[in-house]
Amino acid sequence: MQAVASPVQVRTGVLEGVRVVDLGRYRACAEAALLLAELGAEVVKIRLVQEQGCGLSAVQAAIWDRSKAVIDIDLGDAQERERVNQFIASADVVLQDRTPFEMKALGLDEASLCAGRNDLIFATIGSWPASHVNADRPVDDVLVLAEAGILDEQEAVGRDGPVFLGFPLGSTHAAFLSAIGVIARLIRRHESNVGGAVATSLLQGALLPMMMYWERAAKPTASVAKGMPKQTPQPLYECQDGKWMHVMGDPGRAPLVRSMLDEMGPENIRAANDRHYGQRPVVLPNLGAFAHIFRQRPRDVWLEELWRSDVPVQPVTETGALFYDEQARASGYVAEVATKAFGPTLQAAVPVQLTPPVRVKAGAEVPDWELRSSSAADASGAPAPRRPLEGMKVLDFGSYLAGPLAAMLLADLGADVIKVESLGGEPMRHVEWAFNACQRGKRTIALDLANPRAAEVIARLVREADVVHHNQRMPTARKLGIDYESLKKINPRLVYTHVSAYGPQGPRKDWPGYDQLFQAASGWEIEAAGEGNSPTWLRFGMMDHLAALASLFGTMGALYHRQQTGEGQQVAASLLGASLFTLDTAADAQGGLLPYPKVDRHQFGFSPTRRIYQCADGWLAVSSDGEDALSRVLAAAACNNLAALEAWLGSREIAAGIKLFAQAGIPSVKVALANKNAFFDDPQNRAAGLLAAYPHPVYEKLEQIGGLWDFGDLDLALETAPPVVGQHTREILSEIGLAPHEIDDLLRQGVVQAV
């Protein structure tokens, strides 16, 4: 896939010349269109007057609809409907987030809009996949996560039962998945002149982080069988001044902590740990002892001590603090955006660095597009690709999750991904439940990168690669000779993507980091806990996953740019940038935050009509933002207030509650509990491609979450289990031209490892 492109004029955006019509109503679609807009596409957002009051709030619109030309259309007016048709006839991409029934009723379904346009890319973000029995469920995070059982995957604070997730787990991931899929289609269209479908859903977005916890093995090891229970204590510590911090790694590396452990002595350490853990699983050692120690000093003292000792730590801060953070600003993660509704604001920037750079487009005007004529398909006689990225070659030097996950998704899309890891395997291999969630579809070579003889192996691999991706700290990468400056000398057309913790510039650019630290710094550990509660970590690891998705989005953009210009480049993403981009608020000129919903102290929800309720036989979830929604349901239940409604529901079964809310015109679903096995056993989920299964050399058979996209005429590559260490070493060395005796010599000298 390295066709030579003719020289072109300097481009102002990676997606310059690409036209996008955003027909979406909700966050995921709006955010996907924003990602494309700030990568250089020209985006027209069409809002239907028939759907006023349904969709983004004024604050969300000021954030997610920036950089777009926005117009309001009445589909009941023939001239205005024709205007919609003209925009779509002139577009390269259409983005849509309605259910199949809604799209058909409005005449906005794929068959209607793509008639006569075989080059149009039609992207849909639904609730569930279009082929699933639940496809016509409302496109709503609360309802989707409830029915899938994901609300039961987080431990509640101070009570039993499921938790309302204020974090839009489905939407944030689905937005990136959709934008990535669109660029994959653009790359294929450049070669064939043929467009096609790109479908994902809020469910598939939420299932991506659930891959860590939802897997099944015929012969599980202890690690796979145990996983990480949702009751696992986290290293969140309150300090002497009442402020909290999240610490990863071993705090005992800090001299002050180590000396205070020595002062405590073994018996006091054991007693403190016993009090802290109680009946909860012990995964990290000495949490109780550390909790006792950290209460002896103010947080600022501990932050300096731990940072000085290279122990990963971040303070738990309020939402919005990152808008003023030195590191976030240095890496370009904060954008100054002038809004009509709220004046000047500080907002999260698209968290990717590449060339040409992403940028906010101020005052986008409604364009006058010329009509596109559908191009004929390529008649070269070359076999049509079966997969979106078929023919692409990727080297994955990453470890843990934020690096390897992006490479796994490239493998899902059909790329040939080679995992280059150390002898004995990368550090997360022993945490198998997490390792498996970001490694399928890859081949692996085990290599001693520090050995001088490894350099020629790396050089041969790099010469044939389209992409190098990793999340090593850059000083380590330079030491190993896998930094961009070294590798572009071998392959100037290389797309080199790096995921860091804090971003490529600024004083913390080389600091270590973990998902937990950026949940803390971004405010989500406070928001997730509910009003007035101690902070809590959301176990979905979404900052890792979103950093990986941001890096993949940037990688796809760079590949598209290379296709147009022939130029390789470096791409950067980070956990810090991804975490800031999750906020659905902005800072105003006075330093305050624009209003956004907050979870109540019981972690039931945002409001009486967007929350979960306990019934006599379980829980149900409801979701509606209508101004009179509460009064309607109170009237239907003959209740005077919320407490009476809670009592009414608590004395009745879920079916009665769902019927009550239906009478009030409010969608509701049963909250599935302990749903992993039921999800895997559901034939509807299997038929919709939501599950994957493959043979494994250790587990015999491994079942995992399946496809995250549906490309219609193109398949995903979901046939290969996560590899064991060195599983493909001989095969890969042979492919890059080494003779059998040369491979044997490398094995004897310990340069490589094979099974």
Q: What is the model's pLDDT at position 116?
A: 78
pLDDT higher than 60, residue 638: yes
Q: Tell me the residue type at 577.
A: G
- Please check whether residue 18 is in contact with residue 41, taking contact to mean a CB–CB distance below 8 angstroms: yes
**445-469 tens-digit pLDDT:** 999 999 999 999 999 999 999 999 9
Closest CA to 320 of 593, 66, 542, 547: 593
User: What DSSP state is assigned to residue 622?
Assistant: E
Residues 209-214 have a mean pLDDT of 98
Which residues have CB under 8 Å from 27's CB, separation 6+? 56, 60, 64, 168, 171, 172, 175, 584
- Please check whether residue 409 is in contact with residue 181, taking contact to mean a CB–CB distance below 8 angstroms: no
**213-264 tens-digit pLDDT:** 999 999 999 999 999 999 999 999 999 999 999 999 899 999 999 999 999 9
Which residues have CB under 8 Å from 144's CB, separation 6+? 127, 128, 137, 170, 201, 202, 203, 206
Give CA–CA dist 56/38, Å, rounded: 19
Would you say domain 605-670 falls under CATH 3.90.550.10?
no
Helix, coil or strand: residue 628: coil
Q: What ranges make up the beta strands (E) of 270-415?
A: 313-315, 334-339, 343-348, 352-353, 393-396
pLDDT higher than 70, residue 377: no
The domain segmentation of the chain, as residue ranges, is 249-311, 605-670
**593-633 tens-digit pLDDT:** 999 999 999 999 999 999 999 999 999 999 998 778 999 99
- Where is pLDDT greater, at 717 or 55? 717
| DSSP characters over 99-110 | -HHHHHHHT-SH
Q: What is the model's pLDDT at position 375?
A: 55
Give CA–CA dist 502/509, Å, rounded: 5
CB pairs under 8 A, 24+ apart, for 359-366?
Answer: 359/13, 359/38, 360/38, 360/66, 360/67, 360/335, 361/37, 361/38, 361/66, 361/67, 361/68, 362/337, 362/338, 364/37, 364/43, 364/67, 364/68, 364/69, 365/69, 366/44, 366/69, 366/71
The answer to pTM > 0.85 is yes
pLDDT higher than 90, residue 278: no
Local confidence band at 384 (pLDDT 50, 70, 90 cut-offs): confident
Residues 95-108 have a mean pLDDT of 91
Q: What is the model's pLDDT at position 10?
A: 72
Residues 103-123 have a mean pLDDT of 88
Q: What is the model's pLDDT at position 380?
A: 55
Q: What is the model's pLDDT at position 376?
A: 52
pLDDT higher than 80, residue 18: yes
Question: Which helix (DSSP H) or strand (DSSP E) does residue 658 occupy?
Answer: helix 654-663
- Please check whether residue 310 is in contact with residue 253, taking contact to mean a CB–CB distance below 8 angstroms: yes
Q: What is the model's pLDDT at position 385?
A: 85
Residues 680-704 have a mean pLDDT of 97
pLDDT higher than 50, residue 336: yes
Question: Which helix (DSSP H) or strand (DSSP E) does residue 551 occupy?
Answer: helix 542-565
Q: What is the model's pLDDT at position 668?
A: 97
Q: Residue 184's CB: how many other CB atoms inside 10 A?
A: 26
Give the Å distances, CA to CA, from 34 to 31, 44, 199, 351, 666.
5, 10, 17, 12, 30
> Average pLDDT, whole number, for the chain?
94
Question: Which helix (DSSP H) or strand (DSSP E) does residue 735 occupy?
Answer: helix 729-735
**181-207 tens-digit pLDDT:** 999 999 999 989 999 999 999 999 999
Q: Comparing 50-59, 384-393, 435-444, 607-616, which segment has the lowest mean pLDDT?
A: 50-59
Joined together, the tokens standing for residue 43 give 């985006």
Q: What is the model's pLDDT at position 374?
A: 57
Residues 278-287 have a mean pLDDT of 83
Which residues have CB under 8 Å from 482's CB, separation 6+? 397, 449, 458, 468, 470, 472
Q: Please report, rounded to a whole number, the percentage of residues in the chain having pLDDT higher than 90.
A: 88
pLDDT higher than 50, residue 328: yes
Helix, coil or strand: residue 345: strand
Q: Positive or negative, the Cα torsion across 330, 360, 124, 522? A: positive
Give CA–CA dist 361/40, Å, rounded: 9
Give CA–CA dist 237/316, Å, rounded: 9
pLDDT higher than 60, residue 1: no
Q: What is the model's pLDDT at position 9?
A: 59
Four-point Cα dihedral 17, 23, 29, 32, nearest 10:
0
- Please check whether residue 710 is in contact with residue 414, taking contact to mean a CB–CB distance below 8 angstroms: no
Helix, coil or strand: residue 371: coil
User: What DSSP state is assigned to residue 751?
Assistant: S
| DSSP characters over 84-131 | HHHHHHT-SEEEE-S-HHHHHHHT-SHHHHTTT-TT-EEEEEESS-TT
Task: For tokens 């709220």, name the residue.
Answer: 342
Residues 501-507 have a mean pLDDT of 96
Residues 79-95 have a mean pLDDT of 93
Give the end-to-end CA distance of the chain in Å, rounded to a whole number.
31
Residues 373-379 have a mean pLDDT of 54
- Please check whether residue 541 is in contact with residue 209, taking contact to mean a CB–CB distance below 8 angstroms: yes
Local confidence band at 52 (pLDDT 50, 70, 90 cut-offs): confident
Give CA–CA dist 391/187, Å, rounded: 12
Q: Positive or negative, the Cα torsion across 538, 540, 543, 546? A: negative
Q: What is the model's pLDDT at position 382?
A: 67
Q: What is the model's pLDDT at position 31?
A: 98
- Report the DSSP pairing between strands 334-339 and 343-348: antiparallel
pLDDT higher than 90, residue 383: no
Q: What is the model's pLDDT at position 8?
A: 47
Give CA–CA dist 492/641, Å, rounded: 67
Q: Comparing 70-84, 276-290, 647-661, 673-687, which segment has the lowest mean pLDDT?
A: 276-290
